[in-house]
Protein backbone atom coordinates (compact mmCIF):
# COMPACT_ATOMS: atom_id res chain seq x y z
CA UNK A 1 0.00 0.00 0.00
CA UNK A 2 1.23 3.50 -0.81
CA UNK A 3 2.60 5.55 2.04
CA UNK A 4 0.42 8.54 2.90
CA UNK A 5 1.73 11.77 4.32
CA UNK A 6 0.07 14.31 6.62
CA UNK A 7 -1.28 16.04 3.51
CA UNK A 8 -3.23 12.90 2.64
CA UNK A 9 -1.22 12.53 -0.56
CA UNK A 10 0.94 9.56 -1.47
CA UNK A 11 4.65 9.88 -2.20
CA UNK A 12 3.95 9.61 -5.94
CA UNK A 13 1.33 12.35 -5.75
CA UNK A 14 3.74 14.58 -3.84
CA UNK A 15 6.36 14.09 -6.58
CA UNK A 16 3.80 15.07 -9.21
CA UNK A 17 2.19 18.02 -7.45
CA UNK A 18 4.87 20.69 -8.10
CA UNK A 19 5.04 19.73 -11.77
CA UNK A 20 1.30 20.32 -12.18
CA UNK A 21 1.84 24.00 -11.38
CA UNK A 22 4.22 24.44 -14.32
CA UNK A 23 3.59 24.97 -18.02
CA UNK A 24 4.73 21.40 -18.74
CA UNK A 25 2.34 19.12 -20.61
CA UNK A 26 1.25 15.83 -19.08
CA UNK A 27 3.40 14.08 -21.69
CA UNK A 28 6.44 16.07 -20.58
CA UNK A 29 5.69 15.38 -16.93
CA UNK A 30 5.39 11.67 -17.62
CA UNK A 31 8.82 11.72 -19.26
CA UNK A 32 10.38 13.62 -16.35
CA UNK A 33 8.89 11.23 -13.79
CA UNK A 34 9.58 8.23 -16.02
CA UNK A 35 6.05 6.88 -15.72
CA UNK A 36 3.29 6.26 -18.23
CA UNK A 37 1.06 9.21 -19.06
CA UNK A 38 -2.06 7.34 -17.93
CA UNK A 39 -0.51 6.93 -14.47
CA UNK A 40 0.31 10.65 -14.36
CA UNK A 41 -3.31 11.44 -15.29
CA UNK A 42 -4.65 9.06 -12.62
CA UNK A 43 -2.37 10.57 -9.97
CA UNK A 44 -3.34 14.11 -11.00
CA UNK A 45 -7.03 13.23 -10.81
CA UNK A 46 -6.46 11.77 -7.36
CA UNK A 47 -4.69 14.96 -6.24
CA UNK A 48 -7.55 17.13 -7.51
CA UNK A 49 -10.11 14.90 -5.77
CA UNK A 50 -8.20 15.17 -2.48
CA UNK A 51 -7.27 18.87 -2.64
CA UNK A 52 -9.95 20.27 -4.92
CA UNK A 53 -9.39 22.17 -8.16
CA UNK A 54 -6.35 24.42 -8.03
CA UNK A 55 -7.46 26.83 -10.72
CA UNK A 56 -7.15 26.53 -14.46
CA UNK A 57 -4.67 23.66 -14.25
CA UNK A 58 -7.61 21.37 -13.49
CA UNK A 59 -8.71 21.66 -17.11
CA UNK A 60 -5.37 20.17 -18.25
CA UNK A 61 -6.55 16.72 -17.20
CA UNK A 62 -8.85 16.51 -20.17
CA UNK A 63 -6.33 17.94 -22.63
CA UNK A 64 -4.74 15.50 -25.08
pLDDT above 90 for 57: no
Q: How much is the pLDDT for 48?
A: 87
Domain boundaries, the chain: 11-59
Amino acid 6: pLDDT: 62
Q: Record the pTM.
A: 0.73
31: number of Cβ within 10 Å: 13
Distances (CA, A) of 35 to 12, 26, 48, 55, 60: 10, 11, 19, 25, 18
Amino acid sequence: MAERHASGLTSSELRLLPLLTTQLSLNEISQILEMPRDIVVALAQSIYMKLGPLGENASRLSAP
